[in-house]
Amino acid sequence: MKTTIHRASTRGHANHGWLDTNHTFSFAHYYNPERVHFGALRVLNDDFVEGGMGFGTHPHDNMEIISIPLQGDLEHKDSMGNVTVIRQNDVQIMSAGTGVQHSEYNKNKDKKVNFLQIWVFPKERNIKPHYDQKTFDPEARINTLQEIVSPDGKEGVRINQDAWFHLTRLQKGKDINYEFKMKGNGLYAFVIDGDVVVSGEALGRRDGIAIQDATQVAISASSDAELLLMEVPL
C-alpha cells in the first residue's frame, strides 16, 4: 500500500472577496507539479461563496463535474436547460462531454454557501452532455458507507468513469472498512469534518489522503467525523 497525505494547510488558497477557495490539486493560479491529479481525480475544490455571488456562465467539455453542497443553497443553470437549486445532502453531476455552459450562484443573499467541486477525467470522450442530481438521507450514512456516485447510477448519480464516491458519518470510536470496487483503482479520502485514522494515518478536518496498491482501507473515528471517499482509476 502506498499513501500520500495532503494536509488542509498545504492546499492552494485564494480569496477573491466573493469567493474563498481551497485547492487540493493544482487549479487556476495554484500550481504544484506534485499535486496535479490523483489518477482520474483532477480537481477537489473547497469553495465558500458570499451571498448572492457566484460563477457566471462558462464552458466545460470532456470532464465529469460533481458538486456537493456542505452548507447553504447553490443555484445552477446550464445550456441543457436545467435550472435547479442544490442543497446540503444533494449531489449533482454534469458529464460535460462535447460541451456545456453553466453558471452557479449562491441562492441566498444573506449567508454563504460552502460546496465541494470535484472534476474527474471521463472514461469516454465527446459523449452527449448529461445531467443528474439526487438527494440523499444523511441518516443512511451513519457508521456505514452511502454510495453517492457510481458508473451505473443505481444508488448515486451516474458518472462516465469507473469511479465510485461514498459519504460516511462516523461516530467517535466507530470503525469501517472500504473495499475497492475495481482492481487497480486508487482511493482518495477527504475529511469533511472531525478526526479520523485512515490506513494508520491520523487526519483532521479537510485533510486528504491518496491510497493506492490496496484492496481495502481501514477507517476509524477519533471523534465524530464525516468523510468523502472517492475511488478512481489510476
Q: Give residue-wise pLDDT tens across range 65-124.
A: 999 999 999 999 999 999 999 999 999 999 999 999 999 999 999 999 999 999 999 999
The DSSP bridge pattern shows strands 146-150 and 157-158 to be: parallel
pLDDT band at 231 (very low <50, low <70, confident <90, very high): very high
CATH no. for residue 164? 2.60.120.10
- At residue 104, the pLDDT reads 95
* Cell numbers linked to 39: 489518477
pTM > 0.95: yes or no = yes
Average pLDDT, the chain: 97
Placement of cell 447510477 in the chain: 153
Render pLDDT for 153-196 as a digit per residue (tens, 0 to 9).
999 999 999 999 999 999 999 999 999 999 999 999 999 999 99
Distance CA 127, CA 93 (A): 14
Check residue 174 and give its pLDDT.
98
Split at pLDDT 50, 70, 90, the class of 55 is: very high
Percent of the chain with pLDDT over 70: 100
pLDDT at 108: 96
Q: In which domain, by residue range, is 192 found?
A: 2-233
Instruction: Give residue 200's pLDDT.
Output: 96
Cell 460541451 locates to: 99
User: Quick one: pLDDT at residue 5?
Assistant: 98
Which amino acid, residue 20?
D
Q: Are 60 and 94 in contact (CB under 8 A)?
A: yes
In angstroms, the Cα distances linking 232 to 44, 87, 103, 204, 213 are 13, 25, 26, 22, 12
Can you give the pLDDT at residue 114?
A: 98
pLDDT cut 90: percent of the chain above it: 100
Helix (H, G, I), strand (E, B) or coil at 107: coil
Please say whether the beta carbons of 195 and 202 come within 8 A: yes
Paired residues of 3 in beta bridges: 211
- Greatest CA separation found in the chain? 46
CA angle 102/61/191 to nearest 5° reads: 75
Closest CA to 54 of 4, 99, 18: 18
Distance from the Cα of residue 66 to its chain's centroid: 6
Three-state DSSP state, 140: helix
Give the span between the Cα atoms of 29 and 78, in whole angstroms.
25
R_g (Cα) of the chain, nearest Å: 17
Number of domains composing the chain: 1
